[in-house]
Structure 1
Amino acid sequence: MGTEETAVLARHVAEAVRQIAVHYGLWLAEAAHQFGPQAAVSMEARAGDALLPLLARRIEKALDLPDDVPTLLAGLGREKLERLLSALSVSWLAADGVWFRAVEDERGMHDAKRVNDTCWSRLGYYEAVRAKARLGLPEAGGLPALRQALGARLIACVNPWDIVEETPASFVLRIVQCRVQSSRARQGLPPYPCMSGGSTEYAAFAAGIDPAIRTECVSCPPEQSRPECACAWRFSIPGGRSAPENTPGAF
């Protein structure tokens, strides 16, 4: 096989990965549309748990790998794995950015923000459910569970963050530096007004951990009151643990 034919085949492999990702996402979106977000996320847990080992086995066989994929990844060592996780996390955020730009170019800022805010609310709920499963967190685990789950998010690998003003009933999450806003500043652009998207995202994530948790925006463009951080969000459980009737983050 010549060099050009090999390059064509390599592009075909990359296209296969892309189509797997898109088709998988379409299944999740349509299941949510047909059956509701909670049922869809439950189904995704079964589908994902079945797909990942199947995919790994087929890659191992196709490439004649000396060991299984999880073992080979673990063999990279902590430093390389941390770099790989960082690269994947930044790429995940880049995927969000290119989709935003594509919709904005076709439909304008209003529609791009509308799609953006909905996607982040759905992702927030999904990430919460996955974090609970990965970390073994209890249902309705309150603020301690939320505090632990926040560190398991992909965005935690991208943006420096901390927790301040912690009390038994509440705490404030600060995003100390935001990759998106820093990039805009370097380009001489004003801060992106992300308060609406952040509000739906964090409310959905918190409710996915414990529906009794309330989310409040403390500071976020365009209403930024804390210049020492990119944004800040207060989570609390006021007046008991009764859950709301509707959980944010519906697909």
Structure 2
Amino acid sequence: MGSEKLSGVSVDQMENLVENMMWFWGNLYQRWRAAAEDEYGVDAALKLELKFIGSIGKSHARGIKSILNVPKGIAGFIEAYRFAPENFVEGFRISEQTDKYVVVYNPSCSVQKARTDRGKREFPCKESGILYFTAFAREIDPDIRLSCIVCPPDDHPDDCFCKWKIEVV
């Protein structure tokens, strides 16, 4: 590994640190979004988010890809997405998978549930999700395409907040 910062850290501690950092990233991101919404309104918060979220997805995939040497294709996407920060926070699941495509979904979105528990409407994250997932997937493989099956502000079942199809074309 070669990092003095991690000298003496056990594998278990390293796993806990990684999970903590991923949770921290998700928490920081959601607090930023909430502060922007409180200050400027939901439409402005979304507009600001759309300015950077694609580059975040690309950056996440690039970093993961460089560390893990993931292959192209659906297998590479699945391997890389296992380590995407929002997957640590939300725990996306796979509902369908072949060599050509995978369908992932979020069965219980903590962010949206927290919003509705506070009396707010769900954040309309569909555009952000499209930009993030597209950039993430295409960094893994330029031949991957994404389609949104459902995501707020769409109506969705209680056990599926968002669902995405990622396929090689």
C-alpha separation between the residues in 2 aligned to 1:159 and 1:184? 15
C-alpha separation between the residues in 2 aligned to 1:179 and 1:88? 17
C-alpha separation between the residues in 2 aligned to 1:223 and 1:72? 48
Higher fraction of strand: 2
Cross-structure match for 1:10: none
C-alpha separation between the residues in 1 aligned to 2:119 and 2:30? 18
* TM-score when normalising by structure 2: 0.88
Gaps of 5+ in 2: none
Does residue 73 in structure 1 map to residue 9 in structure 2?
yes
Does residue 169 in structure 1 map to residue 100 in structure 2?
yes
Cross-structure match for 1:223: 154
State the 1:110 CA deviation.
2.1
State the 1:226 CA deviation.
4.0
Cross-structure match for 1:247: none
State the 1:131 CA deviation.
1.2
Measured against aligned partners, the alpha-carbon deviations of 1:85-136 in whole angstroms (never above 9, x if no partner) come to: 3322222122212322333344332221111123221110001111111111
Give the structure with higher Rg (CA). 1
Cross-structure match for 1:92: 25
Greater alpha carbon shift after TM alignment, 109-118 vs 144-153: 109-118
Cross-structure match for 1:191: 122
State the 1:185 CA deviation.
2.8
Q: How many residues align?
A: 168
Cα RMSD (Å): 2.0
Does residue 208 in structure 1 map to residue 144 in structure 2?
no
Aligned residues of 2:106 and 2:162 also touching (Cα < 8 A) = yes
Gaps of 5+ in 1: 1-51, 54-67, 239-251
Aligned residues of 2:23 and 2:89 also touching (Cα < 8 A) = yes
C-alpha separation between the residues in 1 aligned to 2:116 and 2:68? 36
Aligned residues of 1:219 and 1:226 also touching (Cα < 8 A) = no
